[in-house]
Amino acid sequence: MTVNKTGYYTHADCRKHEMGEGHPECPARLDAIEDRLLASGVGDALERREAPRAALGDLQLAHDRLHIAALRGMELEVAEQVQAGGSPYAHLDADTAMNLHTWEAAQRAAGAAIAATDAVLAGELENAFCAIRPPGHHACKAQAMGFCFINNVAVAARYALERHGLSRVAVVDFDVHHGNGTEDVLAGDDRVLMVSIFQTGLYPFNGEAPRGDNMVNVPVPAYTRGPQVRELIEAQWLPRLEAFRPQLILISAGFDAHREDELGQLGLVEQDYAWITGRIRDIARRHCEGRIVSCLEGGYNTSALARSVEAHLRVLADL
Ligand SMILES: [Zn+2]
């Protein structure tokens, strides 16, 4: 039996997390996506589901207990600060801060990835997209960084392996920044193959040397455009993914490699995201009945982000 439904997971609390005036990782990103899906009619073709909260035990599949405890402690700290008339933010690093809603949003974001994994593995949906904030791929086992607190994709990968008993999960990361957090959690775990492409000389300033044999890191210089990116993906990702025969594919779907995005200097456009999504979908259909769970990571030009998500979803939903 084949299902062709595409799920769309989100939660209103993912909008309430914000890190201050002018911060690029802002609630308006989700609004732009929603508007675009509504205006284009693509939203009508998706099965919309509310993201549940992730269980703490599931977050610990990818993170140290103390990391989770520290985030919960920070939430209380912000609450006390606010009550005392102080700042509504607690800064974890120069560009990563928690407000009163961050912990709730982070649990919903990881919960979306987990629930989507359950639904796809149960055969209720062929694939799913999680429109979530905060993003996750810089969050390490024991450290929040780069706008990320909990690594949604790494949690979902471990959840699929440990709770569903899968033995081969692929992770695909096409965000302009290296997914150092996902690599930190999953490097050396032979049940996972991670393929990524990212701009060199850019935050988090690493990834050129993969940390495990299960990591296929493709660093590219600034100003690389779509045709070269497609060639590199054909040559370096696809043979490894084919040979791996994944039972599930998770995508760290960052759209900040778009030509119009100012946080990176790569030259992808909507058609490139459609092409990449198509190649991943083909592999998923050949090896695992199309099972893909895609999670939003970066993408900071809200117009380019919304157009790119639409292109991504049109391919996932066969529109
Ligand atoms: Zn990014």
For residue range 47-65, what is the model confidence (pLDDT) as tens digits? 999 999 999 999 999 999 9
- CA distances in angstroms from 73 to 55, 62, 69, 171, listed in the order given: 17, 19, 6, 31
Show the 3-state SS of the chain.
CCCCCEEEEECCHHHHCCCCCCCCCCCHHHHHHHHHHHHHCHHHHEEEEECCCCCHHHHCCCCCHHHHHHHHHHHHHHHHHHHCCCCCCEEEECCEEECCCHHHHHHHHHHHHHHHHHHHHCCCCCEEEECCCCCCCCCECCECECCECCCHHHHHHHHHHHCCCCCCEEEEECCCCCCHHHHHHHCCCCCEEEEEEEECCCCCCCCCCCCCCCEEEEEECCCCEHHHHHHHHHHHHHHHHHHHCCCEEEEEECCCCECCCCCCCCEECHHHHHHHHHHHHHHHHHHHCCCEEEEECCCCCHHHHHHHHHHHHHHHCCC
Mean pLDDT value of segment 235-260: 98
Distance 13 CA to ligand 1 centre (A): 21
Mean pLDDT value of segment 16-29: 97
Distance 202 CA to ligand 1 centre (A): 10
Query: 173's torsion region: left (phi>0), alpha (psi -120 to 50) or beta?
Result: beta
pLDDT over 90 percentage in the chain: 99
CA 290 and chain centroid, separation: 18
* Residues 64-82: tens digit of each pLDDT: 999 999 999 999 999 999 9
**pLDDT band at residue 4 under the 50/70/90 scheme:** confident
> How many CB atoms neighbour CB 227 within 10 A?
10
Amino acid identity of residue 95, one-letter, is D
pLDDT over 70 percentage in the chain: 99
* Residues 279-314: tens digit of each pLDDT: 999 999 999 999 999 999 999 999 999 999 999 999
CA 175 and chain centroid, separation: 8
Distance 25 CA to ligand 1 centre (A): 10
Do the beta carbons of residue 278 and residue 249 sit within 8 Å?
no
Mean pLDDT value of segment 170-196: 98
Q: What is the pTM of this model?
A: 0.98
**Across all residues in the chain, what is the average pLDDT?**
97
* Residues 188-234: tens digit of each pLDDT: 999 999 999 999 999 999 999 999 999 999 999 999 999 999 999 99
Catalytic residues: 138
* Residues 29-51: tens digit of each pLDDT: 999 999 999 999 999 999 999 99
Distance 81 CA to ligand 1 centre (A): 30
Locate tokens 């994709």: which residue?
A: 153
Mean pLDDT value of segment 18-26: 97
Distance 152 CA to ligand 1 centre (A): 14
Partners of 143 in beta bridges = 140
- Return the pLDDT at 3: 72
Distance 138 CA to ligand 1 centre (A): 9
